[in-house]
Structure 1
Amino acid sequence: MTERKKVLLRLDPAVHDAIARWAGDELRSTNAQIEFLLRQALADAGRLPGNAGRMRKRGRPPKSDSDDEETH
């Protein structure tokens, strides 16, 4: 898997709170919601690269077999 880029983003606290609430409603993390909105804006503007990877599914990631072994 390709390493994901890390970005420091400064937001107005009210904007962050609104995105965080929206993310909770959509079962996404705040980070995933920001990425979703950026991808949507890029697609609407016709600027989303064709080689952009897919978004991860909403909600918690499924447990892997290695997670089960670590907890037992």
Structure 2
Amino acid sequence: MPDRKSFLLRLDPAVHDALARWAADELRSTNAQIDFLLREALRQAGRLPSGATGPRRRGRPRNDEPAEP
């Protein structure tokens, strides 16, 4: 998988808490929830680049899958 970019995101504490609760309900990290929501919004707006890689798979990799670097 290609390298992922990181950046600082400043959020209102109440918004962060709501995202964290939503992420917990979906069994995701807060970071993964934000990534999911951004991808979904881009897809719905028709702006998701065709070359964008999908989100990482959940859980442990199967034994027959190559390990990610």
Structure 1 segments unaligned to the other structure (5+ residues):
66-72
Taking structure 2 as the reference length, what is the TM-score of the superposition? 0.82
Structure 2 segments unaligned to the other structure (5+ residues):
64-69
Secondary structure of the structure 1 residue equivalent to 2:35: helix
Structure number with the bigger relative contact order (C-alpha 8 A, sep ≥ 6) is 2
Identical columns (%): 67
CA distance in 2, matches of 1:63, 1:45: 32
Aligned length: 63
User: Is the aligned partner of 1:33 residue 2:29?
Assistant: no
In terms of fraction of residues, the more helix-rich structure is: 1
- List structure 1 segments (4+ residues) > 2 angstroms apart after TM superposition: none
Taking structure 1 as the reference length, what is the TM-score of the superposition? 0.79
